[in-house]
Structure 1
Amino acid sequence: MTPRYYFYLSYGHSARLRADDRPDTDYWAGHLFSELSAEVARQVGADRRTPVGYYDDLVEPMTDWKTALAGVLSSSDVFVALYSPGYFNKSWPLRERASFASRYADPAMAERFLLPVLWVPWPSYEHEDEREAALRLARDIPEYGDEGLQAMSRLSLYRREYRTIVRRLAREIVARAAEAPRPAPLAVAIDEVTAEPTGRAEILFTVAVLAPAGRGWNPYRERFPIAEYVANVAERLGQPARVVDRDQGLADGAALVLVDPALAATAAGTDRLRGLARRLPEWASVLLVADDEPGRGARLHAAVADTLVAAGVERGRITLIGDSARLVERMPSIIDQACTAYRKSAPVFLPKGPDPTLPNISGGESSDD
């Protein structure tokens, strides 16, 4: 049974540039979550070891984020939204917010239990209602409106003001949680709500599976299919994602093909690998996902890589993941690299029709004479 939480913290994730990287947004959101949890626990007299809040970084890796968060959002009294340009440019945090709001038929009730925070400022002419709502938390502290709470959390110069806002936010959480309905209404699952980001990513991220068991294949014996996990990570990073069997639709956007190295153990599997190499767009990447059995992945990886390279796939586009911990660690950077490769290599389609007449330096139309 999911415990009751005083608050859920929502923010826009950032892509990692390296496997060991943790972007500022993610780090400082986690820092705020820890301090806010401690302050809420202090105000309600709870043991500091008792969880009073939740955010999606706490979801167990290699599990179904969407299902897990549906339960958490149903049992969280207050939704704390860290508003920033990235929050409105990504569908994942907006869907978290929509999922929480779905608990209430009356929009005013949903608004009552939503606490927006100005995390990173944006131009005042964009999202004016959300900006105004976020400023209410600390309108009397000029640094909050000028810098946002993320910058204040990083700079010792603003430490006193930052602590004041955290205590104030905790008081609001505790007060509104006391008014939350019991039993708590259920939230609609994240994948069942829609929320259009203002800067919607144009690149579709396709996760393809090449394995004997198809898209439900799971080398780490977890309950959640690995392909669905990869798609979830992409969505958290703001990338629209889908899962397909084999190599369907790889030319439609950024693509990552998950390959079971066991295919190299049979003649039929080797033929499938050669077929993949023939149809693989030049920007698509291949990820060989070996299971945790010692030695097996390394043996078959060489055979798979040699087959693909012989069929024309550059070795630099092939990566081996040998265990689930490494997969979790590297997946954000692998997704970001796949999207970057698509932006660099994908074909550009010019508009159809005759070339437009170009202006000359005098401002008139150019002539062929």
Structure 2
Amino acid sequence: MLGRLLADERRPHFFLSYARSRYRPENSDRWVVKFFDDLCQDVGHATGMQNPGFMDRQIPVGGEWPDHLADALANCRVFVALFSPAYFLSDYCGKEWAAFLKRYQALSAGLDVPSAIIPALWMPMRPDEVPQPLQSMQNVPPGFPAAYAAEGLYGIMKLGRHREHYKETVLRLAALIKERAAECALSPRSIPSLETLRSPFAENPPGASRPAIRLALAAQSAQRLAPGRDSYYYGRTPREWTPFRSEAHTMPIGAYAGQVLTELGHRSIIDGVDEAGARPADSPSVLLVDPWAVKDRDIGKRLRQLDRDPVNVIAPFNADDPETSARADELNGDLTEVLPNSTALHGSAKRVTSVAAFRDALPKAVNEAVTRYLKTASVHPPRTPPTMPRPTLRGPDS
């Protein structure tokens, strides 16, 4: 997943990085989509390019989600970050930032060029809502409407009296994108796998005093499935497991859960049960289990180990997956046999049949996990005040 390098005319002029909303899945992010469409129209007019911008909503149904993101990050000329409180809590937004930053630093080393990262204010933000290393960035360039700084893009879109201010802001952003792309002249360059990168906001994000939620994925890759199991819901790694995959929902379940937790004000750590090692004592955990995976020898062994110290479980049983529906009772029995203590916990959900049901179940499981963690976690105050170095924004491998 290093990203294909595209011919110049096919490269997106900008990549829109934003924190998804899941408040109303049937109508999610429509204001962001409108902003993206308006910005593409103005960038297209300004540049004459056939591919003004990239947003993850453009990924075709059935497309490889990580591959399309990597391709866009490897080829875009400018990175537009849609700043909001949720943006800096999103692990995936941070990984997108880290991937582009690594590419930009490699190509601009020693050159006197401006930043190819352009902030766009989705919501007005206080200084303490922006990570300290980014507080020196010019979030509102000269000449932009005052209403944009006061209300953010979302505010001037929603408030009718700011209609002209919104159109002017989008036009000025398009001009800035064109100008910055020409000044930076950033050529295509392959990027590392997003899974290997760390968000630069993770060291001191807003809300960092709250414990991060560990989401452990118990699923197989498509190559390890039992004979006859449909690979439609799986990918090359467990992180690409998408149990509710459909035309309306193409995001892997781990990424989707992380986005939901961001909305709820939680940071999240996403890994596979075979990656996590011993579960850290300082992390409330929720286990996302594919019922088809519990018979896998290695995964089953790891789950039995985890069940000795129970953890809240959510098990997707997609009602639209005919194989799962036909064998639901058998799969549920296997799940209960391998995780008897965890599935019995209050807040665990053994049969989650839809995306909407998953979104309802996740906060309940997280709340129970956090409550249990706060009751049992040991507190060890430091003997001496810790020394905290001033944070700096560095490349992901620094």
Identify whether the pair has TM-score above 0.5, normalized to the shorter chain: yes
Would you say the 8 A contact 2:217–2:254 is kept in 1? no
CA deviation string 1:56-87 (max 9, x = no partner): 33335676544432221111011111112222
How far the C-alpha of 1:334 sits from its partner, in A, is: 5.2
Counterpart residue type for residue 34 of structure 1:
D
Structure 1 residues 333, 61: CA separation in 2 closer, same or farther (over 3 Å shift)?
Answer: farther
Any idea what SS the aligned residue of 2:255 has?
helix
Structure 1 residues 149, 138: CA separation in 2 closer, same or farther (over 3 Å shift)?
Answer: farther
Tell me how large the CA RMSD over aligned residues is. 4.2
Which segments of 5 or more consecutive residues in structure 2 lack a partner in the other structure?
Answer: 241-252, 382-398
Match of 1:29 among 22, 29, 32: 32
Distance in 2 of aligned mates of 1:112 and 1:282: 44
Structure 1 residues 193, 10: CA separation in 2 closer, same or farther (over 3 Å shift)?
Answer: same
In structure 2, the partner of 1:285 is: 314
In structure 2, the partner of 1:356 is: none
Distance in 2 of aligned mates of 1:94 and 1:263: 32
In structure 1, the partner of 2:218 is: 209
Any idea what SS the aligned residue of 2:57 has?
helix
In structure 1, the partner of 2:235 is: 224
Would you say the 8 A contact 1:78–1:176 is kept in 2? yes
Structure 1 residues 19, 103: CA separation in 2 closer, same or farther (over 3 Å shift)?
Answer: closer
CA deviation string 1:18-51 (max 9, x = no partner): 76563xxx332222111111222233345xxx54
Match of 2:42 among 34, 39, 42: 39
Distance in 2 of aligned mates of 1:352 and 1:97: 34
Distance in 2 of aligned mates of 1:256 and 1:63: 26
CA deviation string 1:8-27 (max 9, x = no partner): 1112234x3576563xxx33
Counterpart residue type for residue 11 of structure 2:
R
Match of 1:135 among 129, 134, 140: 140
Distance in 1 of aligned mates of 2:75 and 2:315: 39
Structure 1 residues 187, 116: CA separation in 2 closer, same or farther (over 3 Å shift)?
Answer: same
Counterpart residue type for residue 315 of structure 2:
V
In structure 2, the partner of 1:96 is: 96
Would you say the 8 A contact 1:9–1:55 is kept in 2? yes
In structure 2, the partner of 1:114 is: 117
How far the C-alpha of 1:337 sits from its partner, in A, is: 4.5
Any idea what SS the aligned residue of 1:285 has?
strand
In structure 2, the partner of 1:5 is: 12
Bigger radius of gyration = 1
CA deviation string 1:312-362 (max 9, x = no partner): 63497334467xxx56x7666555454333224434424369xxxxxxxxx
Matches within 5 A, 1:10-89: 10-14=17-21, 16=22, 20=26, 22=28, 26-45=29-48, 50-60=50-60, 65-89=65-89
TM-score (norm 1): 0.72
Would you say the 8 A contact 2:287–2:311 is kept in 1? no
Match of 1:196 among 178, 196, 201: 201
Distance in 1 of aligned mates of 2:376 and 2:223: 30
Distance in 2 of aligned mates of 1:181 and 1:247: 40
Distance in 2 of aligned mates of 1:339 and 1:27: 27
Distance in 1 of aligned mates of 2:131 and 2:367: 29
Distance in 1 of aligned mates of 2:376 and 2:154: 38
Distance in 2 of aligned mates of 1:167 and 1:207: 43
Would you say the 8 A contact 1:6–1:52 is kept in 2? yes
Would you say the 8 A contact 1:9–1:81 is kept in 2? yes
How far the C-alpha of 1:300 sits from its partner, in A, is: 1.9
Any idea what SS the aligned residue of 1:102 has?
helix
How far the C-alpha of 1:96 sits from its partner, in A, is: 1.5
How far the C-alpha of 1:146 sits from its partner, in A, is: 1.4
Task: Give percent identity, aligned residues only.
Answer: 21
* Total equivalences in the alignment: 335
